[in-house]
Amino acid sequence: MPALSFLKKFAPLVESGIKRQTIRAQRKRPIRTGDKLYLYTGQRTSSCRKLAETIVQSAEHIVIDTNSVVVGSDPLSTREIFELAQADGFKSKDDFMQYFKHSNQGLPFIGQLIKW
């Protein structure tokens, strides 16, 4: 029963059901299809708020590098990267790539694409 916390800017998208996926760094125990997720914003703070409970529909390996994204073993086209970025709550492919470039892990970012 994994719990995931979302940045304040993504909370309304998660709560409304517009954002139905997230990309997370690899965990010691990976999230799996069928897991029950608890979605929060501000987790581990006094402003913590539960956004939703849901069931994982799919969890795939993802690698994000400077100019490429690979989901499972499939490299995504520029159009598919844009669609992935939008589904994840970003306005553009560039915003999406910059976010992961400046993440704690940096590029290449290796993790999971989790959909509910």
Supply the DSSP string of 37-86, one letter for each residue.
EEEEESTTSTT-EEEEEEE-SEEEEEEEETTEEEETTEEPPHHHHHHHHH
User: Architecture of domain 3-115 in CATH?
Assistant: Roll (2.30)
Structure-block tokens of residue 61: 């390996």
User: How much is the pLDDT for 1?
Assistant: 82
pLDDT digits (tens, 9 = 90+) for 17-55: 999 999 999 999 999 999 999 999 999 999 999 999 999
User: How much is the pLDDT for 62?
Assistant: 98
User: Cβ distance 95 to 64 under 8 Å?
Assistant: no
State what percent of residues in the chain have pLDDT above 90.
Answer: 96
Note the Cα 50 to chain centre separation in Å: 17
Q: What is the pTM of this model?
A: 0.94
What residue ranges do the domains of the chain occupy? 3-115
Rounded Cα–Cα distance for residues 35 and 72 (Å) = 19
